[in-house]
Homo-oligomer: A and B are copies of this chain.
Amino acid sequence: MSEEQERVGALGPLVGYHLRRAFGAFAADFANAMDGTGMRQVLVGILAVVSGSPGINQGAVGRVLGIKRANMVSLINELVDMKLIERVVDPSDRRAFALTLTDAGRTMLTECLAKIEAHERAMLAGLSEAERATLLDLLGRIERREPAAG
């Protein structure tokens, strides 16, 4: 196996470096797995969140997924144009749009999740079930860590 990957000098012991490389490998394989669906990581994420919280507005979806409001606009537009998401004015707050999946959206999400599970199995083939659980736990604790100052 390529020795070049070993010559990372001072980067070797850095979790951040390996996180970047592992994330990159996952992202590339994910894009491959989505081939032909017209979907991307972020779009599937939005479908999953809307599926779990029907009627949610796009600002809230953004907060769940760590996407800025300004960047949500075109993403939601894409999904509406693809007829995967329905967007209606929320009667209880007329500034906001209530989002729900269309039937096509539910089908698409189901199909994507099946492809994603295969992609995850391939990427994690070298890890035992216990190791996958450990990885999920450790990553989760990094995400939810206490912010540095309050």
Chain A residues within 8 Å of B, Cβ to Cβ:
1-2, 4-5, 7-11, 13-27, 29-30, 41, 45, 48-49, 51-53, 60, 63-66, 109, 113, 116, 119-120, 122-127, 131-132, 134-136, 138-146, 148
Interface of A is mostly: helix
- B10 near A109: Cβ-Cβ < 8 Å: yes
CA distance A122 to B7 in the complex (A): 26
Which residues in B have their C-beta under 8 angstroms from that of A5? Answer: 64, 143-144
The contact sample of 30 A-B pairs, CB cut-off 8 A, is A2-B63, A4-B63, A4-B64, A5-B143, A7-B52, A7-B53, A8-B52, A8-B64, A9-B49, A11-B48, A15-B120, A15-B123, A15-B124, A15-B139, A16-B41, A16-B119, A16-B120, A16-B123, A18-B139, A18-B143, A19-B22, A19-B26, A20-B23, A21-B66, A22-B139, A22-B143, A25-B142, A125-B146, A126-B145, A135-B138
